[in-house]
Amino acid sequence: MKRQATIARRTKETQITATVDLDGTGVSEITTGIGFLDHMLEQLARHGLIDIKLEAKGDLHIDFHHTTEDVGIVLGQAVAKALGDKQGIARYADVHLPMDETLTRVALDVSGRPYLIWKVAFSQPKVGEMDTELFREWFQAFAQNSGITLHIENLYGENNHHIAETCYKGLARALRAAIALDPRQAGRVPSTKGMLA
pLDDT at 175: 98
Crossing angle of helices 160-178/133-146, nearest 10°?
A: 10
Q: Is residue 115 over pLDDT 70?
A: yes
CB distance 32 to 130 below 8 Å: no
Encode pLDDT of 6-60 as tens digits: 999 999 999 999 999 999 999 999 999 999 999 999 999 999 999 999 999 999 9
CB distance 87 to 1 below 8 Å: no
Distances (CA, A) of 113 to 12, 80, 89, 164, 194: 29, 11, 16, 24, 15
- Strand 149-156 and strand 115-119: the pairing is parallel
pLDDT at 1: 75
Q: Is residue 191 over pLDDT 70?
A: no
Fold classified for 4-185: Ribosomal Protein S5; domain 2 (3.30.230)
Q: What is the mean pLDDT of residues 127-138?
A: 97
- pLDDT band with cut points at 50, 70 and 90 for residue 103: very high
Encode pLDDT of 38-48 as tens digits: 999 999 999 99
Q: Is residue 68 over pLDDT 80?
A: yes
- pLDDT band with cut points at 50, 70 and 90 for residue 144: very high
Length of the chain: 197
Q: Which residues, 6+ apart, have CB-to-CB distance to 139 below 8 Å?
A: 72, 116, 118, 150, 152, 167, 171
Q: Give the type of residue at 84.
A: G
